[in-house]
Chains A and B, each alone.
Chain A
Amino acid sequence: MKALPLSELPTGQWGRVVSLKARGMARCRLLDLGLVPDTPVQAVRRSPLGDPTAYRIRGALIALRREEAGQVLVTPL
């Protein structure tokens, strides 16, 4: 299946991390949050204004801005 940015993953759906587009500290930050390749991640809830979105990552609920989530490529599960 084609990879898409995590920011485009519909609410409720699970995806699997394929790769990160971010470089440098931004990449480090995403890795620290647990977004390493092959990690399952779920888009749980979008805030009223559409940004940020809460994602379930390795057992924790974490809010990411569109620009951050857009740096993560996932394949929908």
Chain B
Amino acid sequence: MPLATELRERFNIHPDPGAAVIALAGNPNTGKSTIFNALTGLKQHTGNWPGKTVLQTQGTFHFGGKKYILVDLPGTYSLLANSAEEIVTRDFLCFARPDATVVVTDATCLERNLNLALQVMEITSKVIVCVNFIDEARRKNIFIDVDCLARELGVPVVVTAARNGLGLTELKAGIDALARGQIVTSPRRLIYDPDIEEAVARLEEKIPGEIKEWINARWLALRIIDHDRSTLDNIRQYFKVPEWGVLRERYKYCPT
């Protein structure tokens, strides 16, 4: 079985040739599930994430003659994996590698939602930001400069009011264009302090090729510096790479 299929199977994504896998991420209470229901209608299937008591919902929709499998990820503030929800979200993005990821944000407190968007953009470049509750924001006299936001983030931005069905066609079109590769994003990259950047560059070189092919090396180097044990353990579980143990041992004493 090819690695891509095998890794997706681990997350209950069954092979469906021609179908693209879309992840739906976002902070809690951003209307993620409303968007999920609006996009998929009643064509959804609920279960659990493997080995977790975190609920997994999958559904499908069609756009432009293509089938999309939409996976509703648990609501999280972060991907730095403190909780089961964060681990599921991070692992899905990292190992199942969705063809596109929608980050759902709340227009009424957009700022606090961008933390997650930036973290997702560190793992994958195939990101579309959905600014939801735009109706409520307007009521509160909050106006979102969508073009500026898209320019600053380097990824497409779509506004929605999912409860009223507003913007959903645009969202589907955005997902479709991204998954087909018609839109190429250039996600804003966070630049860290020089000492960290130097360590990242050194580490990136040491990450084995077969892992680099699959996982964003820069992101992984940052996790090694964080001494993010759960990411490293899961990588060891998914990839049988002998040098990995050595790499991990070397950075065991990095300050956290």
Contact = CB atoms under 8 A, between A and B. Distances in A.
B77 A32 contact: yes
Contacts of A59: 108-109, 111-112
The prevalent SS among residues of A at the interface is mixed
Interface residues of A, number: 12
Interface in A8-47: 23-25, 28-29, 32-34
A32 B78 contact: yes
Interface string B103-127: 0000011011001000000000000
Contact of B115 (A24, A25, A32): A32
Nearest to A24: B256
Contacts of B256: 23-25
Nearest to B76: A32
A29 B83 CA distance: 10
A23 B256 CA distance: 8
Contacts of A25: 80, 82, 256
Contacts of B78: 28-29, 32
Interface of B: 77-78, 80, 82, 108-109, 111-112, 115, 256
